[in-house]
Structure 1
Amino acid sequence: MNERGHRKVRVGRVVSNKMNKSIVIAVERLVKHALYGRYIRRTTRLMAHDEEEVCQIGDIVRVTETRPLSSRKRWRFVEVIRRAEQV
């Protein structure tokens, strides 16, 4: 009964963590140009829920789709794949 079904999963880089329990991640994808055939890098910014506030700017994280949590948040933080290098 606890099966959630198939949810979309995205991997991206944290670009903002200034909000309480929220992060903004940038997800990059390659799109082929319709006329010239060259692949173009496109970026999508997603707001995600980070309950424990463990994400730092520059971290590579995995997020999954969820029910709407606010007007712009439809993703939940799952795990940190790689930590950002501290300078």
Structure 2
Amino acid sequence: MRTKKGHISSAKMTGTVTVTVHRSIFHPLYQKRFMRSKKFLADMGEFKDLVVGDTVVITECRPLSKRKCFRVTEVLERVPRVSELKEEEVIEKTIHREKKHTVHEKKSSSVSSASSASSKK
């Protein structure tokens, strides 16, 4: 069975993803390397949470439809999800807000101590 490694370029169909596979070709006359790509339709199988940008391994199988002859067998790398990014933003805002509060508290305490010191003179 043939296996290919590629990136998911579309995940809008139910149970199917479009995987773009890049390959490098060497031109015999010009002695240059260049990239060619091809899109394959693959069945998601047990991987239901695939999104655009994920790196996957697809394996050839019996024809599942007119154009779909591959199955996703492994997920190599996942792209950060929107929910994860939102959580990170919330955490960063909270940390930044805490830093602001501590800086303002230090400034206000130093200002109040300076004003009380000047009033004592």
| CA root-mean-square deviation | 1.2
2:66 to 68, 71, 74: 71
TM-score (norm 2): 0.63
1:79 CA displacement: 1.4
Which structure carries more strand by proportion?
1
Q: Are 1:33 and 2:27 counterparts?
A: yes
Which structure carries more helix by proportion?
2
Q: Which entry has the higher C-alpha Rg, 1 or 2?
A: 2
Q: Are 1:80 and 2:78 counterparts?
A: no
Task: For residue 12 of structure 2, give the secondary structure of its aligned residue in structure 1.
Answer: coil
Equivalent residues, number: 81
Alpha-carbon distance in 1 for matches of 2:74, 2:34: 28
Q: Are 1:19 and 2:20 counterparts?
A: no
Long gaps (5+) in structure 1: 1-6
Name the % identity: 33
**Cα offsets for 1:3-49 (capped at 9, x unmatched):** xxxx1011100000000000001101001113101001110111000
Task: For residue 43 of structure 1, give the secondary structure of its aligned residue in structure 2.
Answer: strand
Long gaps (5+) in structure 2: 86-121
Higher relative contact order (CA 8 A, sep 6+): 1
